[in-house]
Amino acid sequence: MERQEFALDGAHSYNRSGPIRWIFSHMLRFIHLPLALVALSVVNNLAYSNIQIFIGRGFDTITSPGWENSALLGVALGILVAAAVQGLTALARNYSMEFLAQKIERDSRDELYASLLGKSMSFHGRQRIGDIMARATNDVRMLNMMFSPGIMLIADAAMGLVVPVIMIGLINPQLLLVPGVFSVFLLLTVWDYNRRLKPVSIAQREQFGVMNAGLNDAVTGIEVVKANVREHYEWDKFTGNASQFKDYFVKQGRIQAFYLPMLVFSVFWGIAFFHALYTWRNGGITLGQVVAFMGLMGTLRFPTFISIFSFNLVQLGIASADRILQLINTKTELDENRKGHSGRIEGAVELKNGYFSYNGESVLHDINFSITPGNTVAIVGQTGSGKSTLTRMINRIFDLNSGSVLVDGVDVKDWNLDSLRSQISTIEQDIFLYSRSIAENIAFGCLDASREEVEQAAKQAQAHDFIMSFENGYETEVGERGVTLSGGQRQRIAIARAFLTNPRILILDDSTSAIDSATEDAIQKAMQAISKNRTTFIITHRLSQIRWADTILVLKRGKLENMGTHEELMENSREYRCIFSWCE
């Protein structure tokens, strides 16, 4: 069973051992649609081939002495019926394949999104958002294009090769010589074409991801770009990536340009005409059958030509599927542990012999502490000492490499992940707000909250007044990541969000750093009120917040140097005094 932090109930299981098997397992869910494609393609090409046969019969009719109008009318009706069948089957064929393509695009996108939601933060920390977006949008879209028109055209071309050749054999087996040799040549050429096209298609999709990731980085960090006058650098970087992306299309075009079957088809068509006339002269076939044969031979033009376009789409689709699978198959360190411990958290937190390293670099060393329910804990230390990392062990954003974190005496690894995290709320310094209304952002962790509850939480966070100063109040749409709000406004909305969820454990990671002193005092009073009967961890350098903590943890380079109250630490911890520039 794959380890993941989130999984959909009743989600379909697919074969992820390779891109082709994965695509095929998606297709098997709707197996009636590709079967319909094959059947309809056979009937469609059979109808089209019969049109050529009827034309040949018509030619024989009008060149024979004493022909009657009724015979010609029968030929015309036969062509009409065959054309009607061809049109209807083409419509049904295209509909079935388009339906299949849309379903596969939808299901693969759902599968990828659910997989991304289930990955750990260590996974997401290694990814470039632009590349993920390229895979979730453009690469998934290429799966759609692979089926419609890609595979649909290949299936139609295959039947457009097989059915006419069979019909030619029914006219006279001697006529199979030229189309038979050409068919073998075409198959070998298509195989070689795909062999040479595959690495270019893979590189093309990879370069698209690189280009998209660079674009996302530049647009997301546009303020930094402008502040450092790096527009030309970013422009050169993007145009370089775009130029390389273009180069892969040029390589693809060169491969297609040296694809010779269309030229060879014209040569074989001429040879076929000579062979048909030679057979007619020897009395093997009628003149009308010559006409029918040339019509059937002409139908081979379509599978010859369309193979250039359709097989390119299939190669791009397979390359895209491989990129999607790379994300889906990436193992994650955590799992949701559905059968794990669930229950109301009282708030006791204990860390035993905690060690943690990230990307090979040690972050926490032998951390030990025990916090009783309802206590307020301040975590202090220099930048990079591991303060934020320590709190992320409590709600299992990360797991310790060794040691254990216990909540209410139960190892967090033994908790049901949803039950654990739903009762722990974190407010970080870098606040993330969604491009939604202020009310929706506050209620994000409690979607069934009433407007009254949302407003009450905002009042507790000292956010109500500035929200009501906007024209649309709580329905005001904030920009991406909340850029239309000030830092202090974003933090107060995040604090209101935490108040609304009413967590049993509250983690405040420098959450009032962008708030003025007067507002901070009001928020502190509200936070002191909400902290009652719940365990609160505060990461801050503000002495006004540290003083009222029940316990203070002092970290230095990932080690717990000391712990105690403010008075105790001022008395016996030089490291603690140095934080406030009170070193002897």
pLDDT in tens, 133-175: 889 999 999 999 999 999 999 999 999 999 999 999 999 999 9
- Cis (ω within 30 of 0) for the bond into 303? no
Average pLDDT over residues 180-202: 88
Q: Which two tokens stand for residue 314?
A: 């299939």
Residue 432 and residue 212: Cα distance in Å, rounded?
A: 22
pTM summary value? 0.81
DSSP 364: E
Q: Which two tokens stand for residue 581?
A: 């520039």
DSSP 150: I
pLDDT per position as a tens digit, 214-244: 888 888 778 788 877 888 888 999 999 999 9
Residue 81 and residue 50: Cα distance in Å, rounded?
A: 10
pLDDT above 90: percentage of residues in the chain:
51
Residue 343 and residue 336: Cα distance in Å, rounded?
A: 15
Cβ-contact 349, 371 below 8 angstroms: yes
The CA distances from residue 234 to 128, 155, 216, 274, 552, in Å, are: 16, 45, 11, 62, 45
Q: Which residues contact 378 (CB under 8 A, 6 or more apart)?
A: 537, 538, 539, 540, 545, 546, 549, 551, 552, 553
324 SS3 class? helix
The C-alpha angle with vertex 454 and arms to 448 and 460, in degrees rounded to 5, equals 140
The Cβ of residue 338 has, within 10 Å, a number of other Cβ atoms equal to 12
> For residue 158, which of 311, 17, 263 has the smallest C-alpha distance?
311
Domains (range + CATH), the chain: 19-328 (1.20.1560.10), 349-579 (3.40.50.300)
Residue 375 and residue 373: Cα distance in Å, rounded?
A: 6
Handedness of CA 369, 374, 376, 379 (dihedral sign): positive
The CA distances from residue 480 to 227, 351, 461, 494, in Å, are: 19, 37, 22, 15
The residue written with tokens 């145009």 in the block is: 239
Q: Containing H/E element for 219?
A: helix 177-220
pLDDT per position as a tens digit, 15-47: 999 999 999 999 999 999 999 999 999 999 999
Residue 230 and residue 235: Cα distance in Å, rounded?
A: 9
pLDDT per position as a tens digit, 331-373: 877 788 888 999 999 999 999 999 998 877 889 999 999 999 9
- In the chain, the amino acid numbered 523 is I
